[in-house]
Amino acid sequence: MISISVVQTAERVSLSPSDNFVFQRSLLAYKTAAKIISGNVLEIGTGSGYGIEEIAPKSKEFWTLDKHYIPIDYKKYINTRFIKNKVPPLTNMPDNYFDYVICFQVIEHIENSEFLLNEIHRVLKVNGKLIISTPNKKKSLTRNPWHIKEYSGNEFFKLLSQNFSEIRMKGVHGSENAMLYYEKNKLSVDQILKIDVLKLNQILPRWVLKIPYDLMNRINRLLLLNNNRKLTDSITSTDYFIDDFTEDCLALFFIVRK
């Protein structure tokens, strides 16, 4: 029997050991942003809340937003305000209020990404910055039905250029260990995709694919964990680094100014 933890949704980063490789990569984004941000900060997409302890201490005010309630002890961070809401729009948020907006691995889930970026531009102060990450579609292993649209570097640049004129194109890169895990994951996914001789994963509607995708994704990651425990457990946020964008980076990490 497959437990609930096995079929946990792939929509969000989980803290389970089998997801360590992606959790550590996500944690790097927060650690990098924490070295940059100050003043009033808005996060779009709280996730499970693991970024709060990185960002809140570096902020004057920290507002964090998610469509699900996050059971975090916000009294620990007296400058932090949690808002339960879907985006876009950024409901009840003032114009020209935030010095920084951070948005990690969210925009690929948004139906109207242009509207979201319009809203981010609205709430940022003049010279305020958006720090944003999203998967590099050229490194995606298969179609993710939770993602409405993935972007190449040039596509993401064009999207952001509609609202922002100063854009720094960075990317998330991996160490030898991180890339070894990536290659093992790719090989495993390729083996699974051989079963799909009709290429249904490319043609079926996203809503049809979500449950089978979550199931196969979870099984794949658990098998990778069992077969490569030392490698999977050894990966930390230091196995990833932010550098100039290249076509083969694992994720896009752009910093733009209003």
Residue of higher predicted confidence among 15 and 202: 202
Backbone angles phi, psi at 59, to 5 degrees: -110, 150
Q: Does residue 62 fall inside a structural domain?
A: yes
CA distance 178 to 257: 31
Please report which confidence band the pLDDT of residue 16 belongs to, taking 50, 70 and 90 as the band edges: confident
Q: Does residue 5 fall inside a structural domain?
A: no
Q: Are 117 and 59 in contact (CB under 8 A)?
A: no
DSSP string computed for the chain: ---TTTT--TTS---SGGGHHHHHHHHHHHHHHHTT--SEEEEE--TTSTTHHHHGGG-SEEEEEESS-----GGGSTTEEEEE--SSS-TT--TT-EEEEEEES-GGG-S-HHHHHHHHHHHEEEEEEEEEEEEBGGG-SS--TT-S--B-HHHHHHHHHTT-SEEEEEEEEE-HHHHHHHHHHHHHHHHHHTT-TT-HHHHS-HHHHHHHHHHHHHHHHHHHHHHSHHHHHH--GGGEEEEE--TT-SEEEEEEE-
Q: Does residue 10 fall inside a structural domain?
A: no
Q: What is the mean pLDDT of the chain?
A: 93
Q: Does residue 6 fall inside a structural domain?
A: no
Please report which confidence band the pLDDT of residue 5 belongs to, taking 50, 70 and 90 as the band edges: very low
Query: In this predicted model, what pLDDT tens digit does every residue of 53-76 receive, in sequence order?
Result: 999 999 999 999 999 988 878 778
Q: Does residue 7 fall inside a structural domain?
A: no
Q: Quick one: average pLDDT of 229-238?
A: 96
Q: Does residue 9 fall inside a structural domain?
A: no
Q: Quick one: average pLDDT of 107-122?
A: 97
**CATH number (domain holding residue 136):** 3.40.50.150
Query: In this predicted model, what pLDDT tens digit does every residue of 145-195 receive, in sequence order?
Result: 999 999 999 999 999 999 998 999 999 999 999 999 999 999 999 999 999
Q: Does residue 68 fall inside a structural domain?
A: yes
Domain total for the chain?
Answer: 1
Whether 43 has a pLDDT exceeding 60, the answer reads yes
Q: Does residue 3 fall inside a structural domain?
A: no
String of b and e for 42-55 (b: at least 16 CB within 10 Å)?
Answer: bbbbbbbbbbbebb
Whether 119 has a pLDDT exceeding 70, the answer reads yes
Residue 8's pLDDT is 56
Give the type of residue at 258.
Answer: K
Q: In which domain, by residue range, is 73 found?
A: 17-257
Please report which confidence band the pLDDT of residue 84 belongs to, taking 50, 70 and 90 as the band edges: very high
Q: Quick one: average pLDDT of 5-34?
A: 83
Residue 130's pLDDT is 98
pTM (predicted TM-score): 0.93
CA distance 252 to 105: 9
Residue 9's pLDDT is 62
Residue with tokens 């995709």: 193
